[in-house]
Homo-oligomer: A and B are copies of this chain.
Amino acid sequence: MSAKIIIGVMGPGENASPEDNEMAFELGRAIAKEGWAVLTGGRSFGVMDAAMKGARDVNGLTIGVLPDAHDKNASENAQIKIVTGMGSGRNMINVLSSNIIVVLGMAAGTASEVALAIKSNKKVILLHQDEITIRFFKNIGTYRVLIAKDVDETITQIKDYLAVHQLR
């Protein structure tokens, strides 16, 4: 069995805060150190770019699932570029291709990924989110929604999830 464990990291692009981006970089690094691949929406901005940059910093594998029908706007930190030509329709593929999803920062595209993940019976870790966001997604996702306050807690939750599902 040579299949890679894939951790989805979802979050805002252009509108990510500096704090989101810093945490995304640390998260990408921490995921890659565990030997897992980082999958994002693949663009050269925000949480997507920072998480893949973090993973590449420690020589991790990065996958970018792109909205455009070409790779001109891809992050240079995306090693495997999946070109969908589906716009935000590709968010469904981000979700389905990830073993588990971590969400950092919030915006409309990100919210659609959390909702599609819940709909698809995927576990989602809400990292460093505000009270309204947590309550909204807990209301619609119950046990599929996990809460983490920092990167360490996130990695622990991913490990627990993978252990229970005998992945790795």
Asked if A166 CB lies within 8 Å of chain B CBs, one says no
Asked if A35 CB lies within 8 Å of chain B CBs, one says no
B118 touches A115 (CB 8 A): no
Contact partner, A88, options B111, B119, B141, Cβ 8 Å: B119
Restricting to A108-145, which residues have a CB under 8 Å from any CB of B?
A: 108-112, 114-116, 118-120, 132-133, 135-136, 139-141
Given A111-B115, A115-B115, the answer on whether A92 and B96 have CB atoms closer than 8 Å is: no
Partner-contacting stretch, out of A1-9, A25-33, A146-154, A157-165: A1-9
Copies in the complex: 4
Given A76-B1, A112-B116, the answer on whether A93 and B84 have CB atoms closer than 8 Å is: yes
Asked if A56 CB lies within 8 Å of chain B CBs, one says yes
B3 touches A81 (CB 8 A): yes
A69 to chain B, nearest CB (A): 5
A79 touches B132 (CB 8 A): no
A97 touches B82 (CB 8 A): yes
Q: Which residues of B contact A80 (CB under 8 A)?
A: 3-4, 6, 37, 61, 63, 80
Asked if A103 CB lies within 8 Å of chain B CBs, one says no
Q: Which A residues lie at the B interface, using CB under 8 A?
A: 1-4, 6, 37, 56, 61-63, 65, 69-71, 74, 76-89, 91-93, 96-97, 106-112, 114-116, 118-120, 132-133, 135-136, 139-141
